[in-house]
Chains A and B, each alone.
Chain A
Amino acid sequence: MRKKTLMGFCAMLLLSISVFAQTSPVTGKVTDEKGAAIGGASVLEKGTKNGTSTSSDGIFTLSVKKGSSLVISSLGYDSKEVKALDGISVSLATDVKALSEVVVTGLGVATSKKKVAFAVESVTSDKLPAGLTADAGQALVGKIAGAQISSTNGSPGAPVNILLRGINSLRAGTMPMILLDGIQVAATDFNTLDLNGIERIEVVQGAAAASVYGAQGANGVIQLFSKKGKQGRTNIDFSTSIATNELLNVGKVHKAYYHSLQTDANNNVLGASGSILAFDNALSSYTDNVVWNSLDPTNNNNKAYNKNLSYYDHYKMFFQNTNMYNNSLSISGAKDKIDFSILASDNRQKSVFKGNGDYSRSNLISNIGVELFKGLKFRSLTQLAYTKNTLLDPTGRTYFYALNNSRPFANYDYKSPDGNYGAYFGDAVGVNGYNPNYQSQYGAVTDKKIDIIQNFNLNYRVNKFVELDAKYGLNYQTDEIINNISAQDNNLNADYWQYWLEYYYPRTSYGAPSAATETGEINTTDYKTTFQNFLGTANVRFDFEKDFHLKVPIKSTTLFAYDYRKKDYSSYATYGVDAPSYTPYTTVNMATYYVASDYKESFLTFGYLVNQKFEWGDIGGVTAGFRSDYSSAFGRGQKPQTFPMANGYLRISSLPFWKGSITNTISEFKIRSSYGEAGIQPGAFDRQPTLGTKNLGGSSAFVFRTSNPNQDLNVEISKELEIGTDLSFNALKGQWLKTIDLHLTYWKRSSDNVIYAVDAAPSTGTGTILNNAFGLSSNGIQASLGLNVLSSKKWNWNFTANFSKQTSKITSVTGPPVVITSSAGSSSYILQAGEKVGQLYGYRMLHSVNQTDENGNLYIDKANQSQYATASNGWVVYNSSTSGNYKQPYVTPNTYSFGDPNPKFNITFLNDLTFSNFLVISAQVDWVKGSHLYNQTKEWMYRDGISGDYDNPITINSTTGAWSAFYRGVYAQVSRNGTKDYFYEDASFVRLRNISAALDFAKIFKIKQFQKLQLVLSGRNLVTLTKYTGMDPEISSGTANSAFDRGVDHNTVPNLKSYQVGLNIGL
């Protein structure tokens, strides 16, 4: 390998050397196994310094001595020695040995993985699931060792949660930077990028590797590489698939089949008025409330809905199986100095929630490369995406909450005599319930998003020493959301309950109606984001041996870079209310028109990077450098922030002593270490104090802000050290277990200056002030084990296990602990020094009357213990029939930490089995161990006796029954809906994420017209093993990529179980 590289370097030098021996020109072509041309491959006359490199179409011409041999080599391929014959065609095999890949991310320049001092994970397109979601985020789940990537909401278009290495920021979340061919994509969402256009994905996870990205690299980097056209025949590929989806309900969640409401002797449910509860057909609701003596110790939840009320399965009523369609057509190829790849794809799906709309995305991608002059290459990548959804409730959580909090006797399919759905069926059905059909009837949403990504790249090899590269990317997104709400003033139900569907209609209180009637609304919101990234690099390379004729095998690479990023964002929202009596109408016809939001934001950062690398042959290398960033968001003075980095690697297996049998057993043994710093920027205007404004009936009031910026705010800085090793074993000699690769990395990092809005004493008249208030630290292990289990003529079986273990804790905080209520609901997180990020606090229930807390103190005094006993379900309850709380659980008066909600580890097992080139079977199993979820969904369903748990009999004080006092007590004791460990569940799971079988008929029947005619059958999320009692243990209700709000299930839509049939055609 060392030789190869040297030769590559020499090749160009030798171009100009005149030929004095007796020679003759040889012309040939270098291709890969599939016949695609390999450009830039080194061609060297064996034993000499005479050589050249191939042009982009793989062609070379070299004058060589008669009878000599050529050594052909290229990064990422096995080198080959061939006789120098004119007109030869040389096919290079892909180097399948460890570390053969070439990586770019974090380095600034393409480098063989063998010579990288930190962990870079990469996945090629053939290892990504075929087309099921066409969403790059979903495809990465389980594929990146060390990362925790999870699918936390099953709604169409929902983003995945990505946590690479630890929590580095509390406000900015965990989302890494996304690069497309080296240029940041900051206006377009990650899940808008089409997977069909991606050739390869590289991930560097922490500051050590991402130092070159300076003040934006701390959360790591995911870099996507677009497909390029290859020399050879023009390829036309078409793929189509259809999948059918259903919501997962792993915990078999259902509403209680029985009730314990007050009834008459005939089991008719009575109203508070004393009469039989009756549905008012005109009002579409119950006007009388039920009487539910939930805490009465004799109240037994064993009455059937068999008289005046019936039981409706709301999940059956609203969950539907839907189809998802994916189509993609691509044409690619290359001729002479031009390569091209053009792709069109389309993905569409319907919400699994009835009436909640659908979602579609179409992408057009073109990637064109031109070699303008020798050494000067120009590339243009264009991606256009059009995403449209009509989702009334994009996260599905509002629908789900409304449904989960409706007692099961509500017939939401009921339409009033005038053909309308009712919104609210009365307190009898539950005060937090409402009818999603009402929203579907009156609401209509169109959310149209257009994304443009235009990247230009100009690359020029000035000479053998210097390579200049300029990249410019323009990324633009416009998102227009129109909410159209039709007039509801004739809906008797809405009028009676003053419960209207509305978006912007002014109201200061949720749940409060906005006006006496709701006569229609049109709201338009426009978001525009423009992001520009310019990256100029100069690479200077020297080979001390060749260039300076020094007898040291040292090579030097110096990287200078200038990086400029600018983001402009605006939002403009208007609403028109009070529609006219006629239809159709537009906003112009609305009686009232308001501008709800008019906001602009700009952000600019630029920085310089200098990196110096020295390599000693193939044996080792060291790099040191720094990056200095300026930013419009840094504290006053705008002093630059400098991020240093240094790393090194040593390939012990390349040292002279490593030979013979050791090499035969352990072919590669590399140790590496890397240190780096990187940052996360404050928000655009976080350092600028302003006054708020408020229109008070036409007068303009100035308002002091509740949350305040800080003029001295600085960038959040993450410092990381990683050490790792890469090993390759030649295990067995035969077909089985030929090679084993192991990559292991330990990392440790600390984050300082982490920004958070810190509380001020209320008497100062201020709510919160942004401050660099937190210190965090994280550490973890990432490992990847790859086995070539079987390699025979017909069979090839590869197995990979990706492992991640990581933890993040708070090391320091300025001032008292910060309490954060989960965006999910009422569960509170407390951020204080010494604790894990995302630790939930809450009340405890006990399993024994003499249980003690962490300090050994009894929760219940000895003297009082006799009032309590452990019920048959294992919980301590009030056991005295004279107690006002008889049969209710004991709940501690104080709150305690529930411990680390984050998983102990994640591991993914991947199997790929190929038979005879035409059958590929693959399976992915994900195992998340030791994660926890707070089942807030269930807690809410305990409020009104809706949870199926209410049917479960328990024995207290020798009496057995489905005692509502216990279940309602769990919800109500000490704090209604308070966070209680009863709902804090182990959410560990093992999931069959993917299983697929692909059969290529073109190969089986050797159909010449087709390169590929492949039928793919696949399934996603088919099996889940878990103890979690909710619908899906993988979901989380916090904002996507929240740093701390990761462990609550609050009415979040579970993931989908899908079956898919696909057809891939290659011409």
Chain B
Amino acid sequence: MVQKKYLLITILSATLLGVSCKKDLEIINPNSPTPASATSEAGIIGLAQGGVYVNGFRDLKYGDGVFGLFWSGAIGFHDLLGDEIGAEAANSFLNQIGCPDKVVLDNNTTVLNPNAPNTFKAFLRQVNQNSYQGQNFIYYEWGYMYNMISACNSVLETLDKVTFAGNAAAKKATIQAWCYYWKGFAYARIGSIYYAGLINNTSFATNGNYVAKEKIIDESNAQLDKATAALTTAAGSAADYTTVMTAIIPPFNQVGLGAVPTTDQWKKAINTLKARNILVNTTVANMTAAQWTSILSLVNSGIGNGDNVFTGRSNATGDFLSPQSGVVSAKIQSSAAGGGTYKLSERWVQEFNTADKRYVQNIKQTTQWIGNTDRGNVFNTRFTLYNGGNGVSGAKVFANTSPGAYELYLAGSYEENELMKAEAKIYSGDINGGLQSIDNVRTYQGAGLAPLAGSGLSLAQAKEELRKERRIALAFIGLSFYDARRWGLLDNPRTNCVVVDNGGTLNTKATITYGYLDYWDVPDNELAYNPAASGSAPTKNPK
């Protein structure tokens, strides 16, 4: 019996000692790869892909499903301010973003912004506090774009550790071009909306030296020039270049114009983006002849008809864009006016010329919808977008929620390039040349309108056609606010607006004073953790 006792005790002690190995503590997370996984060829390509498509456009610490990710949320804020859409939901103050300071109705009734504070500028200052976290809508574009910059910096830094098969120089240059290009894009977006920004070319680090928006645009152009140079190296082996790019661009995007661009096509896209950098950051009133010349020179070697460009498409699993909510237009389309998160603006619908096939294709008129009265007068609407169009052959469809059906231009398009060309020409005295470019776009989008070229339009008429065409052809991709800004519509009243007021009355001669801030202050979400160092440029727009 005693022996049994001791046997038990021995077993017990053995168990006790047997379990205490310190090396057992090395429990490795089996669920995810470590950063070292990115140093293979496949790994760096995966990182280059994720850094742009996911870090740059999808993943932030804050977010809200109502407005969505970059291409429906951050871009949606632009389109609210650009009066393409309205919103009733209050998430991140959505409904106050596109609420003009003043609307004078046809009967001369003045309707002020019903919010407190009741001007956009005061509202922006009120919500631009770190304590508002993700409620501060101006955080988003900043957050996404610096994510993209940092991810691209990290890829560039990791590149040297990677061994490539085949023409390593070409492959490396391809990935470099990819990173420089998207950094150029990101700086372009930062410099085109924030009053100041940061130049930050080291991964996961930052600095407190805020620089003026013009310097950010300069940095954008510098990065784009580096991309162009890298593309020249990459062109050294077209096959290796194509292999890498085919792997970087997600397969669902390599459809239509989203197929891998040649290095030359990509260089043209860079020119278009550089032209945009000039165009959208100077008001038309202040544009110099030299600037128009620069634009013209860039767009003349910009994206051409049929050129492949970088696009985004949805797939059933919503990997990059959700079919139903990934882009602004998907959040507009609905069975009835007002049914979507974004409500189609009456001012956008009024831009169409009669007989524009794109109108018949896209604009659905239903029972008019009137939203909450304390959200301003301008988001009530009679219209929404058809989902997938209205069966008009050849006319552009603005909204389509079938997976993969909608082609989103991520950074420039033939239409945008052609309309920049049109504008540069019109403002440089070549009205007919400009009208020809407008015609090109209308033809391209299947508008079915009579040609403008040769119709003898006056300069003012040509400008108006250009304005309307930009509004329509480039809708819902985050360019409308830039246009409103450079055309002077933020401070000067816009007349002859169509407005459905809160009582349900249709006004056609309303005057809207938007009062929006042209460049946003640096988000306090940044300044709270990264205060401006001495010598920094002002981080707040003095307006």
**Alpha-carbon separation in the docked complex, A534 to B526 (Å):** 48
The 3 closest A-B pairs by CB, nearest first: A765-B150, A767-B61, A701-B50
Residues of A within 8 A of B68 (CB): 508-509, 512
Residue of A nearest to B17 (CB): A562
Whether A509 and B49, one on each chain, are in contact in the complex, defined by CB atoms closer than 8 angstroms, is: no
- Residue pairs across A and B with Cβ atoms less than 8 A apart, 13 shown, are A274-B504, A291-B502, A534-B19, A606-B19, A632-B24, A694-B54, A703-B51, A762-B529, A764-B146, A765-B151, A767-B60, A819-B130, A819-B132
B322 adjacent to chain A (CB < 8 Å)? yes
Q: Taking A376-B5, A700-B46 as contacts, is the C-beta distance between A759 and B29 under 8 angstroms?
A: no
Residues of B within 8 A of A768 (CB): 61
Whether A704 and B154, one on each chain, are in contact in the complex, defined by CB atoms closer than 8 angstroms, is: yes
Least distance between B322 CB and chain A CB atoms (Å): 4
Whether A699 and B247, one on each chain, are in contact in the complex, defined by CB atoms closer than 8 angstroms, is: yes
Given A497, A691, A760, A826, which contacts B38 in the complex, CB threshold below 8 Å? A691
Residues of B within 8 A of A562 (CB): 16, 20
B543 adjacent to chain A (CB < 8 Å)? no
**Alpha-carbon separation in the docked complex, A427 to B132 (Å):** 28
Residues of B within 8 A of A511 (CB): 65-66, 341
Residues of B within 8 A of A684 (CB): 27, 29
**Alpha-carbon separation in the docked complex, A201 to B313 (Å):** 59
Residues of B within 8 A of A602 (CB): 27
**Alpha-carbon separation in the docked complex, A15 to B73 (Å):** 83
**Alpha-carbon separation in the docked complex, A370 to B150 (Å):** 66
B324 adjacent to chain A (CB < 8 Å)? yes
Q: Taking A690-B31, A891-B116 as contacts, is the C-beta distance between A508 and B250 under 8 angstroms?
A: no
Residues of A within 8 A of B370 (CB): 272, 289, 291
Interface 0/1 of B482-525, CB less than 8 Å to A? 00000000000000000000111000000000000000000101
Whether B133 and A289, one on each chain, are in contact in the complex, defined by CB atoms closer than 8 angstroms, is: no
Whether A289 and B371, one on each chain, are in contact in the complex, defined by CB atoms closer than 8 angstroms, is: yes
B95 adjacent to chain A (CB < 8 Å)? yes
Stretch from B202-210, B227-235, B429-437 that touches the partner: B202-210
Whether A817 and B369, one on each chain, are in contact in the complex, defined by CB atoms closer than 8 angstroms, is: no
Residues of A within 8 A of B27 (CB): 602-604, 632, 684
**Alpha-carbon separation in the docked complex, A592 to B317 (Å):** 11
**Which chain B residues numbered 24 to 50 have a C-beta less than 8 Å away from chain A?**
24-35, 37-38, 42-43, 46-47, 49-50
**Which chain A residues numbered 979 to 1005 have a C-beta less than 8 Å away from chain B?**
none
Residue of A nearest to B28 (CB): A688
Residues of A within 8 A of B369 (CB): 272, 289, 427
B456 adjacent to chain A (CB < 8 Å)? no
Whether B46 and A702, one on each chain, are in contact in the complex, defined by CB atoms closer than 8 angstroms, is: yes
Given B32, B326, B339, B402, which contacts A497 in the complex, CB threshold below 8 Å? B339
**Alpha-carbon separation in the docked complex, A330 to B543 (Å):** 79
Residue of B nearest to A594 (CB): B317
**Which chain A residues numbered 824 to 849 have a C-beta less than 8 Å away from chain B?**
826, 828, 830, 841
Residues of B within 8 A of A413 (CB): none
Whether B324 and A638, one on each chain, are in contact in the complex, defined by CB atoms closer than 8 angstroms, is: no
Residues of B within 8 A of A427 (CB): 338-339, 369, 371
Whether B367 and A271, one on each chain, are in contact in the complex, defined by CB atoms closer than 8 angstroms, is: yes
Given A598, A821, A893, which contacts B116 in the complex, CB threshold below 8 Å? A893
Residues of B within 8 A of A507 (CB): 318, 322, 324-325
Residues of A within 8 A of B30 (CB): 600
Residues of B within 8 A of A376 (CB): 5, 8
**Alpha-carbon separation in the docked complex, A515 to B317 (Å):** 10
Residues of B within 8 A of A694 (CB): 50, 54, 319
**Alpha-carbon separation in the docked complex, A973 to B322 (Å):** 34
Least distance between B167 CB and chain A CB atoms (Å): 22
Q: Taking A702-B43, A759-B61, A830-B131 as contacts, is the C-beta distance between A893 and B53 under 8 angstroms?
A: no
Whether B205 and A764, one on each chain, are in contact in the complex, defined by CB atoms closer than 8 angstroms, is: yes
Interface 0/1 of A282-298, CB less than 8 Å to B? 00000111011111100
Residues of A within 8 A of B372 (CB): 292, 294, 972
B212 adjacent to chain A (CB < 8 Å)? no
Whether B33 and A690, one on each chain, are in contact in the complex, defined by CB atoms closer than 8 angstroms, is: yes
Interface 0/1 of B160-189, CB less than 8 Å to A? 000000000000000000000000000000
Whether A295 and B374, one on each chain, are in contact in the complex, defined by CB atoms closer than 8 angstroms, is: yes
Tell me the total A-B contact number using a CB cutoff of 8 A.
Answer: 321
**Alpha-carbon separation in the docked complex, A604 to B68 (Å):** 39
Whether A273 and B367, one on each chain, are in contact in the complex, defined by CB atoms closer than 8 angstroms, is: yes
**Alpha-carbon separation in the docked complex, A707 to B61 (Å):** 7
Most chain A CB neighbours (cut-off 10 Å) among B19, B133, B250, B324 = B324
Whether B69 and A508, one on each chain, are in contact in the complex, defined by CB atoms closer than 8 angstroms, is: yes
**Which chain A residues numbered 685 to 715 have a C-beta less than 8 Å away from chain B?**
685, 688-704, 706-707
Residue of B nearest to A893 (CB): B126
Whether A460 and B8, one on each chain, are in contact in the complex, defined by CB atoms closer than 8 angstroms, is: yes
Residues of A within 8 A of B350 (CB): none
B252 adjacent to chain A (CB < 8 Å)? yes
Least distance between A621 CB and chain B CB atoms (Å): 28
A458 adjacent to chain B (CB < 8 Å)? yes
**Which chain B residues numbered 84 to 132 have a C-beta less than 8 Å away from chain A?**
88-90, 93, 95, 112, 114-118, 126, 130-132
Measured CB to CB, the residues of B under 8 A from A are 1, 4-5, 8-9, 12-13, 15-16, 19-20, 22, 24-35, 37-38, 42-43, 46-47, 49-51, 53-55, 58-61, 65-66, 68-69, 72, 88-90, 93, 95, 112, 114-118, 126, 130-135, 139, 142-143, 146-147, 149-151, 153-154, 198, 200, 203-206, 247, 250-253, 315-326, 331, 334-336, 338-339, 341, 367-374, 380, 401-403, 502-504, 523, 525-526, 528-530
**Alpha-carbon separation in the docked complex, A287 to B367 (Å):** 8
A1041 adjacent to chain B (CB < 8 Å)? no
Whether A516 and B316, one on each chain, are in contact in the complex, defined by CB atoms closer than 8 angstroms, is: no
Least distance between B478 CB and chain A CB atoms (Å): 18
Whether B43 and A975, one on each chain, are in contact in the complex, defined by CB atoms closer than 8 angstroms, is: no
Residue of A nearest to B13 (CB): A536
A612 adjacent to chain B (CB < 8 Å)? no
Residues of B within 8 A of A976 (CB): 90, 93, 95
**Alpha-carbon separation in the docked complex, A701 to B51 (Å):** 8
Interface 0/1 of A601-612, CB less than 8 Å to B? 111101000000
Q: Taking A376-B5, A468-B9, A762-B139 as contacts, is the C-beta distance between A699 and B250 under 8 angstroms?
A: yes
Whether A702 and B47, one on each chain, are in contact in the complex, defined by CB atoms closer than 8 angstroms, is: yes
Least distance between B384 CB and chain A CB atoms (Å): 12
Whether A698 and B146, one on each chain, are in contact in the complex, defined by CB atoms closer than 8 angstroms, is: no
Whether B200 and A763, one on each chain, are in contact in the complex, defined by CB atoms closer than 8 angstroms, is: yes
A761 adjacent to chain B (CB < 8 Å)? yes
Least distance between A715 CB and chain B CB atoms (Å): 13
**Alpha-carbon separation in the docked complex, A729 to B403 (Å):** 79
Residues of A within 8 A of B69 (CB): 508-509
Residues of B within 8 A of A462 (CB): 9
Whether A272 and B34, one on each chain, are in contact in the complex, defined by CB atoms closer than 8 angstroms, is: no
**Alpha-carbon separation in the docked complex, A351 to B59 (Å):** 38
Whether B33 and A691, one on each chain, are in contact in the complex, defined by CB atoms closer than 8 angstroms, is: yes
**Alpha-carbon separation in the docked complex, A977 to B372 (Å):** 14
Residues of B within 8 A of A702 (CB): 33, 37-38, 43, 46-47, 49-51
Least distance between B51 CB and chain A CB atoms (Å): 7
Residue of A nearest to B148 (CB): A765
A815 adjacent to chain B (CB < 8 Å)? yes
Residues of A within 8 A of B1 (CB): 373
Given A271, A564, A600, which contacts B31 in the complex, CB threshold below 8 Å? A600
**Alpha-carbon separation in the docked complex, A594 to B315 (Å):** 14
Whether B374 and A516, one on each chain, are in contact in the complex, defined by CB atoms closer than 8 angstroms, is: no
Least distance between A503 CB and chain B CB atoms (Å): 15
A331 adjacent to chain B (CB < 8 Å)? no
Least distance between A632 CB and chain B CB atoms (Å): 4
Q: Taking A702-B47, A704-B51, A761-B529 as contacts, is the C-beta distance between A975 and B322 under 8 angstroms?
A: no
**Alpha-carbon separation in the docked complex, A699 to B253 (Å):** 12
A777 adjacent to chain B (CB < 8 Å)? no
Whether B50 and A764, one on each chain, are in contact in the complex, defined by CB atoms closer than 8 angstroms, is: no
A895 adjacent to chain B (CB < 8 Å)? yes
A454 adjacent to chain B (CB < 8 Å)? no
Q: Taking A511-B65, A764-B206 as contacts, is the C-beta distance between A703 and B5 under 8 angstroms?
A: no
Residue of A nearest to B72 (CB): A509
